[in-house]
Amino acid sequence: MISLMRYQLLNYARSYQYVPPFSIFVLCLIVNYTFTPNPILDSFSLTSIMLFFLMGWFTITLFHTEDEGQKTITCFHTNGSGRYHISLFTIGILIALSLSLVSIIYPTIIQAFAKTPSFAQLLLGFLAHFCLAILGMALSALFTRELVNSKQNTWWGVLSILLLTLVLATLKNSILQIKGLIWLLPPLHLSLEIMNSGDQLKTIPSHFYGRFLWIVVYASFIIYLFFLLSRLKRK
Amino acid sequence: MLAGLSDPDDGMIIPSTQSLKIGYVPEITPAHILFTPTEYLYHMGRIRGMAKQELIARINELLKLFYLEDAQDTRITYFSKGMKQKIMIMQAMLEETDLLILDEPLSGLDLQTQNDLEETLRSLKQQGLTIVLTCHETKLLDHLVDTILMIRDKNVIHADLFIHSTALYNKLIFEIADPTYLDDILHLMKIQQQSSFATGSYEVTIRCQAQHTDVLLQQLLHKEASIKQLMPIHNKEKFIHND
């Protein structure tokens, strides 16, 4: 598995397909923190939504780095496409982890906030970025070529589902009218609610952890769905 | 299905009792491989779980075998289609392979590259490697293959002929009173069909090597068999097109 991950990571690095989303990520961070001081949690909330969208781009380019022919060969050597995709998801998680850390470390280092963020605020910031990045990756994976044949549908699909997730988060109150539906929809709104708590927050309430956990559980379910659908499609 | 990459729609696969090491070359040759041959083969070998030292030695061996030592530090993406096809065969042979599967190996190659590839495959065959390939062209059928499985309308027609063995084969149809008379000469022939007549005699269709045909005919005449037809089997391509 380590050899497979090393190969896929090197292949992705040499493809330079990560350059556009990474450049936009860096640009957004710089622009967002150009004027100081900034509110802490609100800024983290904004950059976490940005990361949620950019992870869609990273995911598609990562999953499509190899062409179809090479993918068949790599899967053959890997002894099945299951381990092949687990490795890709692991690399996606590592990208999400790295960018989440950069998103909270960079503004702290350049002192972009009015006061130094507390550990609780940094932890909340990290969790918001990481959980939304994982959610963005999981939702985008459903539109990779493993499940969607047309390249056009891939990009439209990813953009649509990520935008829809954000729109639904803002329409949460209307959706609540339909009992149970809120649990089926991507839980982006949970992170937005937490990050709307204000900078006066001293400690993290325990139910916040439960909400972040639910985002990760939801993303895990989507990833499971990816494997299930890809197995069905192969048959 | 042979390579284990897809499941059958219907029926079941009965696996070999011996574990076979299979090498697979897909129909679509990857267009952009961003590694040099050495790097690429190293990664593929490591993904397979091969030990480092063994893998490096094998890569050097393969580079020599396929005359790619001079190109080992050039990225594969800059290679010609024929050279890329060679790399595909090399990755399939990283481990000592029992069976090499090639899907449409000549597809999209120019004539010169087709000849080069045919030469490579012939060399591998002479080294004792079993090769299974699919093709629409008859080029490889002319000079390389021993046995053809022709697929038409979801049916497999097994043309069990051996055009490239040193001995040619003959097909013989004869009538004989009792098939048990053949027991002592069965080693000279392979019975393909046998049917009985109302008269109590039998019509038998056999295949035999050309070099054994004279002896066999003598034996059959001695056993009072009546020879109906004798025809050489030497042109498989003609057989396929006429089928």
Nearest to B47 among A66, A72, A77 (CB): A77
Chain A contacts of B91, Cβ < 8 Å?
73, 77
Look at residue B210 and tell me whether its pLDDT is greater than 90: no
Helix axes A188-195, A206-234, angle to 10 degrees: 160
Torsion (CA) A41, A44, A50, A54 in degrees, nearest 10: -140
Stronger pLDDT, B232 or B225, i.e. the higher one = B225
Is residue B157 a part of any domain in this protein? Answer: no
Q: Model ipTM?
A: 0.82
Give me the domain span that covers residue A138.
2-234
- Domain shared by B28 and B137, yes or no: yes
Helix, strand, or coil (residue B100): strand
Q: Judge whether A122 and A104 are in contact, CB under 8 Å.
A: yes
Read off the CATH number of the domain in which B234 is found. Answer: 3.30.70.260
- Domain shared by B130 and B191, yes or no: no
Tens of pLDDT, residues B1-16: 777 777 777 787 777 7
Residue type at A232? L
- Predicted confidence at residue B150, as pLDDT, reads 77
In the stretch 86-125 of chain B, residues with CB closer than 8 A to chain A read 88, 91
CA–CA dist B104, B136 (Å, integer): 7
Give me the domain span that covers residue B219.
169-242
- Predicted confidence at residue B151, as pLDDT, reads 77
Q: Which of B111, B145, B179 is the last residue of a domain?
A: B145
Structure tokens at B207: 């295949």
Domain count, chain B: 2
Chain A contacts of B31, Cβ < 8 Å?
67, 69
Would the CA dihedral through B25, B91, A69, B114 be positive or negative? negative
Structure tokens at A173: 């109150």
- Domain shared by B196 and B141, yes or no: no
- Predicted confidence at residue B239, as pLDDT, reads 46
- Domain shared by B39 and B141, yes or no: yes
Structure tokens at A165: 């997730």
Domain count, chain A: 1
Do B31 and A69 count as a contact with CB atoms less than 8 A apart?
A: yes
Is residue B162 a part of any domain in this protein? Answer: no
- Predicted confidence at residue B43, as pLDDT, reads 93
Distance from CA of B39 to the nearest CA of A (A): 10
Closest chain A residue to B90, measured at CA:
A73
Average pLDDT over every residue of B173-197 = 88
- Domain shared by B118 and B183, yes or no: no
Nearest to B26 among A3, A4, A69 (CB): A69
- Predicted confidence at residue A179, as pLDDT, reads 65
- Domain shared by B138 and B209, yes or no: no
The lowest-confidence range among A69-78, B45-54, B96-105, B217-226 is B96-105
The lowest-confidence range among A170-179, B40-49, B72-81 is A170-179
Tens of pLDDT along chain A (235 residues) come to 899 999 999 999 999 999 999 999 999 999 999 888 888 888 998 999 999 999 999 999 999 999 888 998 898 889 888 899 999 999 999 999 999 999 999 999 998 888 888 898 899 999 999 999 999 999 999 988 888 888 778 888 888 888 887 887 777 667 666 666 777 778 877 788 787 777 777 777 888 888 889 899 999 999 999 999 988 887 7
H helices present in B147-229, as ranges: 210-222
Is residue B154 a part of any domain in this protein? Answer: no
Nearest to A70 among B3, B6, B33 (CB): B33
Backbone angles phi, psi at B76, to 5 degrees: -60, -30
- Domain shared by B139 and B26, yes or no: yes
**pLDDT confidence of B141, banded at 50, 70, 90?**
low
Is residue B161 a part of any domain in this protein? Answer: no
- Predicted confidence at residue B242, as pLDDT, reads 44
- Predicted confidence at residue B120, as pLDDT, reads 79
From B210, B216, B212, select the one nearest B231 (Cα to Cα). Answer: B210
- Domain shared by B26 and B122, yes or no: yes
Do A3 and B46 count as a contact with CB atoms less than 8 A apart?
A: yes
* Strand ranges in chain A using DSSP code E only, listed in sequence order: none
Structure tokens at A86: 């687990």
Look at residue B53 and tell me whether its pLDDT is greater than 70: yes
Torsion (CA) A166, A168, A169, A171 in degrees, nearest 10: 130
- Domain shared by B48 and B123, yes or no: yes
Is residue B155 a part of any domain in this protein? Answer: no
Backbone angles phi, psi at A158, to 5 degrees: -65, -50
Residue A185's CB is within 10 A of a number of other CB atoms, namely 16
From B91, B110, B101, B143, select the one nearest B5 (Cα to Cα). Answer: B101
Q: Judge whether B97 and B45 are in contact, CB under 8 Å.
A: no
Torsion (CA) B135, B140, B144, B147 in degrees, nearest 10: 40
CA–CA dist B93, A76 (Å, integer): 13
In the stretch 194-233 of chain B, residues with CB closer than 8 A to chain A read none
